[in-house]
Amino acid sequence: MSVLTEGLERLNLRYTTYLLRRNPMFVLGLLIVFALVLCAVLAPLIVPGDPKKIDFKAKHFPPGKDHPFGTNVRGQDIFGQVIYGTRMSLMISTVVVIISLAIGMPTGLIAGYFGGRVDEVIMRATDAFLAFPPMLLPIAIAAALERNLLNGLIAIAVSWFPWYTRILRASVLVTKEELYVESARSMGVRDALIILRHVLPNSISPLLIQASMDMGYAILFAAALSFIGLGAKPTDMEWGRMITSARAEFIDFWWTATFPGLAIFVTVLGFNLIGDGLRDILDPRVRGR
């Protein structure tokens, strides 16, 4: 039995490797995210100076040898702020997705597995959240709370968890009808054990794919909140806040907003490519093509 198991694991590993080679865009996404993580970890080595240091004598310097991305109105090095901003951006995406999963996973599991009135109550609650336009609810929540980055992230997560609930519920509705789940139920296995051992592991793939894509969109939403003054503080090195600070001078000094915007673009692209690659690997309907 162990030999058979090892053989299946090797076969699955070979097939996954084949899929990775067949999808170079997924590898590109991994490289982009890996480079971002390196920038976040090695930021003090990449940028030895203080990126927040103000030097009005050096304000609005164009990109050059000393300042690869130029400087802003306060003479701060934009390259250093973009590199250090990677830390906050990765933190933003991680926190938003974790909070959304923490709410969406249990509600989706409970709704899909138990059904009935429980499912009806949970689904109507998610419908209430989904009735708002995607950006309106985070703006309303962030405006009602104290204006800081953490409250902005909570606002985004609260508006996103209904999608996770619905995705997982749909997957659970299919999985709970499988023969191995029915067999476990007929043997008297507790519902909690069935959910954790059988239903969740075989239903979570679509949710992981969506979460990987949302890592990039979380940064985009947080940047939008910062742009209208509901996210990061003016002193935070966050890409959306940098664009906000540069919007009045963008026409004359294009580099002040261009490089933070490119950082957001590349990050969202990297996570989207990873999400597409995970779909090729985890979705059996795509694997069979």
- 175-197 pLDDT, tens digit each: 888 888 888 888 888 888 888 88
Q: Read off φ and ψ for residue 77, nearest 5 degrees.
A: -75, 120
- 256-272 pLDDT, tens digit each: 889 999 999 999 899 98
Domains along the chain? Answer: 2-287 (1.10.3720.10)
Q: Where are the alpha helices (DSSP H) in 115-148?
A: 116-130, 136-144
Number of H helices and E strands in the chain, helices first, is 13, 0
**What is d(CA 9, CA 262) in angstroms, rounded to the nearest whole number?**
40
CA neighbor of 40 nearest in space, from 239, 231, 189, 244 = 239
The span from the first CA to the last CA of the chain, in angstroms, equals 30
pTM: 0.81
- 111-164 pLDDT, tens digit each: 988 888 998 999 999 988 888 877 788 888 877 877 777 788 888 888 888 999
Q: What is the pLDDT of residue 15?
A: 62
82 and 69 Cβ atoms separated by less than 8 Å: yes
- 200-253 pLDDT, tens digit each: 888 888 888 888 888 888 888 888 887 777 777 777 788 888 888 888 788 888
